[in-house]
Amino acid sequence: MIGVFDSGVGGMTVAKAIEDLCPQLPLIYFGDLARSPYGSKSSEVITTCCCRNIDFLIQQGATVVVIACNSAAATAAETLRRQYTLPIIDVVTATVEKAAMASTAGRIGIIGTRATIRSKIYEARLTTVRPACRIASQACPLLVPLVEEDWLGKQETKMILRRYLYPLHQHQIDTLILGCTHYPLLGDLIQARIGKKVRLVDSSAEAARHLKEFLDKNPEIGSNMTEHERQSRFFVSDSTGPVQRLADRIFGRPIYLEKVDV
Ligand code: DGL
């Protein structure tokens, strides 16, 4: 089974993109809402949370794990790959490939949590694949709580977005990486504020594409499932009303969130 985790509901944008690309593939999702947001935490704490999440997903039958969180991928992916033998797909790798190809003038913006921006992972990877590109990044720590509160259409959210995106405007970027899996939920608001000429690269969609490529090359994964494993399950370490509404909205159907102590 495919295990997917995030600090909260943001990773459900990855899970939905996987469902759209591979409809026959059930998932085990874990949203660590009791410890969200990860993006404002230290590398040590984020890594500890990731290990706990992966252990839980393995216990539930995961044989591949998707880190559906940029903060976790940027901080811990390499350590986790050394520690676990199962394949680990992360949101950053495929996003870098896509952004490097999509940018016409090589002026690329990145928005993400503090942890993702602090790691400089996108800068390092982008300059490896496209050495001449110019990169501007912006940490947006208020966006994850706004999304988790379901404040998507509020004036305050629009105002904060304008403030965060203004410096990237100044850099005349032609491509903007949505370097947090919560941000596709703000995609239309971001596009309207950064301008329609700027191409948005969505890390959730890219992670799903990367997983599909991996599964196409490894068809044995995902076969031989027991009857019990043929259904997606969604676990959370805490649950609130806004989060339930968002989960239902992302999938376009009621999602049963199972609360677990992880
Ligand atoms: N969706 C996570 C990400 O992609 C959110 C991080 C957080 O919890 O701060 O970075």
Ligand 1 pocket member 74 (CB < 6 A):
no
Where along the chain do the CATH 3.40.50.1860 domains lie?
A: 2-90+205-259, 92-203
Q: Is the pTM of this model over 0.85?
A: yes
Distance 83 CA to ligand 1 centre (A): 22
Ligand 1 pocket member 10 (CB < 6 A):
yes
Ligand 1 pocket member 31 (CB < 6 A):
no
Q: Has 180 been annotated as catalytic?
A: yes
Mutate to test the pocket of ligand 1, among 5, 7, 206 (most ligand atoms within 8 A of CB): 7
* CATH code at 92-203: 3.40.50.1860
DSSP string, 20-79: HH-TT--EEEEE-GGG---TTS-HHHHHHHHHHHHHHHHHTT-SEEEE--HHHHHHHHHH
Ligand 1 pocket member 180 (CB < 6 A):
yes
Identified catalytic residue from 49, 50, 69, 140 = 69
Look at 41-55, 85-99, 172-186, 221-235 and tell me which has the smallest mean pLDDT: 221-235
Q: Which CATH architecture has domain 2-90+205-259?
A: 3-Layer(aba) Sandwich (3.40)
Mean pLDDT of 57-73: 96
Q: What is the pLDDT of residue 229?
A: 63
Residue 228, pLDDT above cutoff 70: no
Residue 18, pLDDT above cutoff 80: yes
Cα–Cα distance between 162 and 167 in angstroms, integer? 9
Residue 161, Ramachandran bin (φ over 0: left; ψ between -120 and 50: alpha; else beta): alpha
* pLDDT per position as a tens digit, 230-252: 789 999 999 888 899 999 999 99
* pLDDT per position as a tens digit, 84-119: 999 999 999 999 999 999 999 999 999 999 999 999
Residue 43, pLDDT above cutoff 70: yes
The share of the chain scoring above pLDDT 90, in percent, equals 89
